Amino acid sequence: MTTSGIFRYADPATIADSDVPFVKPWAKVDTDVTSFARTEVSRPVHNVRDAPVDQFSVDSSGFALFHAPVEEQHLANEDAIRDGYYAEVEALVRAKLSTSQEPVNKVVIFDHTVRRRNPSAPRQPVQQVHVDQTPGAAEARVRRHAGNAEEVEVLLQSRYQIINVWRPIGYAAADHPLAFIDYRTASLNDLKSVDLLYPNQPGSADIKLDMRRREALPDPTRAMSTEGYSIKGETYTVVPSDEHCFYYVKDMKPEEALFIKCIDSRSEVQHGGRRGVSAWTPHTAFTDPATPADAKGRQSIEVRCLVFYSSSEKSAKP
């Protein structure tokens, strides 16, 4: 079943060509505010369920859908997520991405986000086409999370990826489903680097930046102010292209998991990378006009994983 959607892209005419902090394009993580304008484009959206099973894979299209029930059901509870669900995600990643030629040898889960389409929720579904990390941001994550300095240098020479493991919570995601662009229909020229602004947290500088439990709704009267925010990451926003082909999973269920590739150090866009290997997956929430009027507001969880492989190859630099 094909549906349609109005997709919010970055307006290329409003993207500043600068690397100066707070002049370079930025986006806030705690509210839907950016330094650049958005433009809306209507596109058809194809249902993954209607396609041949071998049409998509993490390494070709940049995404893959799996039947993957979990034992941990309390996915709105921070402790349950970290103490229970993380281990299930790691096991799933190893099972689905390891091959005999290139086994996964290390998985580091560094971040998760629970999103609810609820006016009181600090994390809403993101309605803007984007990619979660740039290559520079991915390397920074490796250096920050993957081990001591010596181990990190070894890992950076191996193949590594950031994989976003996405699933609905509680019930099917009929409301504001996730749409994603087939990597093979996108181009590096479609991506623009954007700094991520995080609200400053009170207390010690050692407090983990990825802890979500203290987040609160921001003051709407100060939406465009960067006071009280720090640059703590970098992502890609996406500009429109007629070539983009969108997919979604109609009524995706909690017992299903979607893998979304954010970065791959062996992708074809890397110097010396592998031809035909996807680099990233632009994605966004969208309003499906076929959604029933009484559908519950979407709840979902996304877990971001650093995935390292055993390989004799040296890592290619961008």
Least Cα distance to 144 among 133, 83, 271 occurs for: 133
Please give the average per-residue pLDDT across 169-183, as a whole number: 97
- In whole numbers, what is the pLDDT of the chain averaged over residues? 91
Please give the average per-residue pLDDT across 90-115, as a whole number: 96
* Confidence (pLDDT) at 74: 86
Task: Tell me which amino acid residue 163 is.
Answer: I
* Confidence (pLDDT) at 214: 47
pTM of the model: 0.89
The answer as to whether 316 is a domain residue is no
How far is it, in rounded angstroms, from Cα 176 to Cα 291? 8
Task: Tell me which amino acid residue 31 is.
Answer: T
The answer as to whether 148 is a domain residue is yes
The answer as to whether 243 is a domain residue is yes
More confident residue, 241 or 209: 241
How far is it, in rounded angstroms, from Cα 72 to Cα 84? 6
Tens digits of per-residue pLDDT, 188-239? Answer: 999 999 999 999 876 544 444 444 444 556 676 777 899 999 999 999 999 9
150: containing domain: 2-202+221-309
The answer as to whether 317 is a domain residue is no
More confident residue, 27 or 314: 27
Residues 6 or more apart in contact with residue 22 via CB below 8 angstroms: 195, 226, 231
The answer as to whether 256 is a domain residue is yes
The answer as to whether 94 is a domain residue is yes
Tens digits of per-residue pLDDT, 261-299? Answer: 999 999 999 999 999 999 999 999 999 999 999 999 999
Tens digits of per-residue pLDDT, 30-89? Answer: 888 999 999 999 999 999 999 998 999 999 999 999 999 999 988 988 999 999 999 999
DSSP string of the chain, one letter each residue: -EEEEEEEEE-GGG-----STTTS-EEESSSS-BSS-EEEEEEEEEEGGGS-TTS--TTTTSEEEEE---S---TT-HHHIIIIIHHHHHHHHHHHH--SSS-EEEEEEEEEEEEE-STT-SSPPP-S-EES--HHHHHHHHHHHS-SHHHHHHHTTS-EEEEEEEEESSS-B-SS-EEEE-GGG--GGGEEEEEEEEEPPSS-TTS-TT--TT-----GGGTT--TTEEEEEEEEEE---TT--EEE-TTB-TTEEEEEEEEETTSTTSTT--TT------EEE---TTS-TTPPPPEEEEEEEEEEE--SSPPPP-
* Confidence (pLDDT) at 201: 76
The answer as to whether 261 is a domain residue is yes
The answer as to whether 274 is a domain residue is yes
* Confidence (pLDDT) at 103: 97
> How many folded domains does the chain comprise?
1
How far is it, in rounded angstroms, from Cα 234 to Cα 245? 25
Q: Name 19's bridge partners.
A: none
* Confidence (pLDDT) at 209: 46
* Confidence (pLDDT) at 107: 98
Q: Is the pLDDT of residue 316 over 90?
A: no
